[in-house]
Amino acid sequence: MKKKILIIDDYAPLLEEVSEFLDMEGYKVETAKNGAEGVQKAITIEPDMIICDILMPELNGYQVFEAISQIPSLSAIPFIFLTARATSEDYRKGLELGVDDYLTKPFTIDALLTTIDKRFEKIEKYKSVKQDVVEFLFSNPLLGVFIYSDNKFIFVNEKLAKVSGYSLHDINNLEFKDFIIGNYIEAQKIANLLKAGIKKEYNTEIGLLKKDKNVVELSLFVKSVVFEGKNSFIGCLVEKEEKNGNSLLEPSIAKFVDFLSTTNNKEISDEITSLYNQMKTKDSIENRAVIKKIKISKREKEILEHICKGFTNKEIADKLFLSARTVDNHRANMLAKTKTKNTAELVAFAVKTKLVEI
């Protein structure tokens, strides 16, 4: 499917020239001749990228960006400013708002295409890492995880089903109040604050009414998200005996998160922080015994260190003068040795167990 790019500019010749070129490059292009029209069109078509002039009638570029940022379904769309005046003040204001990139007029078509391609490449790389993190979260046997929308559980993982005693089908037909023991009115107030964006996330202690009518005490972490275009909640339920201390990251993981924050991966590091604040558990004797048995070679450790730093197979191969296939083989061997399912889980395991130091 072609990626949709919305171009907002009041200069008709530029719209025509850029639209024609990007169409030839395989993109589906929509245009708007002013800021107000641009916001309306963005809502209608939900583009994959927005390229917007700053100085325009109706709404200027900054106002367009601020308006779109307030719409949950559009807020994550990459946004590139076009500007005829590239002053430090312009750049500072754009960075403060959170814009993704700048192109200074006049610009070449090649420069525009390079900027677009690099932005899409970065998005795909982030999506890949994020997907690994999400898969790790939902498959984790220590956490009950759910997505709640329109007063329904639209997704729950096997751990939550096991703890509650309900089948996955049963839970999908229940409301939160059907099996949560606590002050439901207070919970509804918190939900409204989360939906309104006044609160970003919430932690509390609850009782879960199991199918057999017994109650288990759990720690609940919930965060407001947009899922399939709807305001929803993603939550983690942790059995209290599995929760350790005040949900602080252990030093090795904190160091890893700090590293990600300084390597243009702050969004990923923020997400991992939220996940690990819920995943922190005491290692069992059995787990420690398994860790002691894991032996990785010097070369594997070297590759693992690079994996933990976010390098791709090709980048690792180039740095270590190996083939990408060799790197991939070592990665597969380490997944087997650590009994982890994917790269995100391997990284998490390596940092937590101090197989590598970041």
pLDDT digits (tens, 9 = 90+) for 185-196: 777 778 878 877
Q: What percent of the chain has pLDDT over 70?
A: 73
The H or E element that residue 218 is part of is: strand 215-227
Domain spanning 283-358, CATH architecture: 3-Layer(aba) Sandwich (3.40)
Structure tokens at 112: 């525009």
Please check whether residue 27 is in contact with residue 2, taking contact to mean a CB–CB distance below 8 angstroms: yes
**Which region among 57-66, 88-97, 308-317 has the lowest average model confidence (pLDDT)?**
88-97
Q: What is the mean pLDDT of the chain?
A: 76
Residues 6+ apart with CB under 8 A from 288: none
Q: What is the mean pLDDT of residues 314-338?
A: 88
The H or E element that residue 109 is part of is: helix 109-139
Q: Can 140-242 and 283-358 be said to share one CATH topology? A: no
pLDDT for 275 beyond 70: no
**Which region among 31-35, 92-96, 203-207, 349-353 has the lowest average model confidence (pLDDT)?**
92-96
**Which region among 86-90, 118-122, 242-246, 249-253 has the lowest average model confidence (pLDDT)?**
242-246
Structure tokens at 241: 């005996």
Please check whether residue 324 is in contact with residue 313, taking contact to mean a CB–CB distance below 8 angstroms: yes
Structure tokens at 40: 């309306």
Beta strands at 201-209 and 215-227: parallel, antiparallel or unpaired? antiparallel
* Band of pLDDT at residue 247, cut at 50, 70 and 90: very low
Give the residue extent of every domain in the chain. 4-126, 140-242, 250-278, 283-358
**4-126 — its CATH code?**
3.40.50.2300
Structure tokens at 165: 């005693």
Length of the chain: 358
pTM: 0.42
Structure tokens at 317: 């191969």
**140-242 — its CATH code?**
3.30.450.20
Backbone angles phi and psi of 260, in degrees to 5? -60, -35
